[in-house]
Amino acid sequence: MTTEDDVRYRAAPTRWMSVHERVLAGFARGWDTPEPHAWDSLMAEDIELNQPLLQPGTTRKTWHEEAQRLVTLLPDIRGEVVSWVGNEDLMFIELRLTATLGGKPLDFRAIDKLWLTQNGTILRRDSFFDSAPLIHAVMCRPSAWLPWWRSGLGPFLARRRFLGR
């Protein structure tokens, strides 16, 4: 004979698997055609954001501004999901990101750690990647310097103070 707790325990992994699959599909769709609002249906309004080279923040508006800077610098950026794993309200997604910078290809990997609600809303996103190759590419490609400056991504602090952003 099963107890009510046993039934809930067995149902939970199935429910979370469905949540993970929905989040993964929306996340991948956003990286197919990235633009600042591509992930709005996934993000909580007061989402916490932490990522290299972009301003951390606690609102969807922060993401819109930072994503705009990213696509300004790398208008053809695309992301492909390489792998993922989820455990209840926590999900990790590995991405292969490709773009053109200074007329040459750019390719790097990132891992996003997502905290989710039971309905698939992202409460927090921490992105991890080695930013050194990206910075090196900018530094070694003079034709990327002006677009990098104009995007607002760099030089990160000086640029934003200068522009008042």
Q: According to the model, what pLDDT value does residue 55 have?
A: 83
pTM of the model: 0.84
pLDDT band at 4 (very low <50, low <70, confident <90, very high): low
**pLDDT for residue 97:** 96
Give the per-residue pLDDT at 12.
57
Q: Give the per-residue pLDDT at 158.
A: 57
Convert the pLDDT of each residue in 109-139 to its tens digit: 999 999 999 999 999 999 999 888 888 999 9
Q: How far is CA 69 from CA 58, 85, 129, in A?
A: 17, 29, 18
Q: Which residue has the higher pLDDT, 43 or 13?
A: 43
Three-class HEC string of the chain:
CCCHHHHHHHHHHHHHHHHHHHHHHHHHHHHHCCCCCCCCCCEEEEEEEECCCCCCECCHHHHHHHHHHHHHHCCCCEEEEEEEEEECCEEEEEEEEEEEECCEEEEEEEEEEEEECCCCCEEEEEEECCCHHHHHHHHHCHHHHHHHHHHCCCCHHHHHHHHCC
> CB–CB of 43/63 below 8 Å?
yes
Pick 4-163's CATH classification: 3.40.50.2300, 1.25.10.10, 1.10.150.170, 3.10.450.50: 3.10.450.50
Confidence of residue 7 (pLDDT cuts 50, 70, 90): very low
Per domain, the residue ranges of the chain are 4-163
Neighbours of 74 (CB within 10 A): 22
The residue ranking higher by pLDDT, 27 or 8, is 27
Residue 3 has pLDDT above 80, yes or no: no
**Cβ atoms of residues 110 and 87 within 8 Å:** no
pLDDT of 146-165, one tens digit each? 888 888 887 655 555 655 55
More confident residue, 53 or 3: 53
27-77, pLDDT tens digit by residue? 999 999 999 999 999 999 999 999 888 888 899 999 999 999 999 999 999
pLDDT digits (tens, 9 = 90+) for 78-109: 999 999 999 999 999 999 999 999 999 999 99
Q: Report d(CA 63, CA 50) in Å as an integer.
A: 10
Integer-rounded Cα radius of gyration of the chain: 18
